[in-house]
Amino acid sequence: MPASAKICGLSTAATLDAAIAGGASHVGFVFFAASPRNVDFDRAAGLAARMPAQVRRVGVFVDPDDALLDAAVAAGRLDALQLHKTPPARVAAIRSRHARETWAAVAIKTRADLDRTADYVGAADRILYDAKTPPGAALPGGMGLRFDWALLDGFRHPLPWALSGGLDPANVAEAIARTGAALVDVSSGVERSPGIKDADRIAAFLAAVTGTASKRG
């Protein structure tokens, strides 16, 4: 099956249009005040209104409360919820409340971290494997870090999954070939500076993913 891509942390019409034109299957809107990629509800609504139905809108959250989720889902017309630093029971409750595809982001550094993904069976629809950030880091992701892809060798994934963490136009083809990822997720790897996406880098990333898909075919 060809790989697909999510461009995360979009905040402008131009970069959203680049993601759509390049063939992204998903785009991510970040609702986390500490992030340079954070969008307010009005901006999220404006961006969502530009999108064709076939591209899925993913809201990105860090252990959110219900009020934030309710407002973001409505403003961004969200199709899916991506939850960082959120325990399995809370993920399950959010999934039940909103009746939307729910992703649990799991920070990976060791094989023991991978084993934790089994806790989300029955709670989430998808696992997002992301690189573990340093202790005390302000952000749970989007820092350009990657984990050792060899950790995925022989691992029996408990749920559908996506690969994130340190991906960019230069390494995404290798990442897909190495891990077999069907969905890849990028944020900082297509930026000029934190929070500032680059339309050319988005296009190059998506072209690399498409090139991998054609080789598989």
Residue type, 70: D
Q: pLDDT, tens digit, for every residue of 45-77?
A: 999 999 999 999 999 999 999 999 999 999 999
Which residue, among 60, 97, 66, 90, has the nearest Cα to 78 in the 3D structure?
A: 60
* Integer Cα distance of 212 and 155 in angstroms: 22
Given a contact cutoff of 8 angstroms between Cβ atoms, the answer to whether 83 and 102 are in contact is: yes
User: DSSP letter string over 167-188?
Assistant: --TTTHHHHHHHH--SEEEESG
Residue 94's domain comprises: 4-216
Decide: helix, strand or coil at residue 137. coil
Query: Is 148 among the catalytic positions?
Result: no
Looking up residue 152, the CATH number of its domain turns out to be 3.20.20.70
CB atoms within 10 A of CB 13: 12
Q: pLDDT, tens digit, for every residue of 96-139?
A: 999 999 999 999 999 999 999 999 999 999 999 999 876 555 55
Q: How many domains does the chain have?
A: 1
Percentage of residues in the chain having pLDDT higher than 70: 92
Q: Is 63 exposed, middle or buried (0-12, 13-18, 19+ CB in 10 A)?
A: middle
Query: Is 130 among the catalytic positions?
Result: yes
Q: What is the pLDDT of residue 211?
A: 86
What number is the average pLDDT over the span 11-20? 98
Model pTM?
0.93
Out of 70, 130, 153, 198, the active site residue is: 130
| Ranges 5-14, 126-135, 181-190: which has the least confidence | 126-135
Q: What is the pLDDT of residue 217?
A: 46
Task: Report the chain's mean pLDDT, rounded to a whole number.
Answer: 93
Out of 8, 42, 113, 198, the active site residue is: 8
* Integer Cα distance of 21 and 206 in angstroms: 9
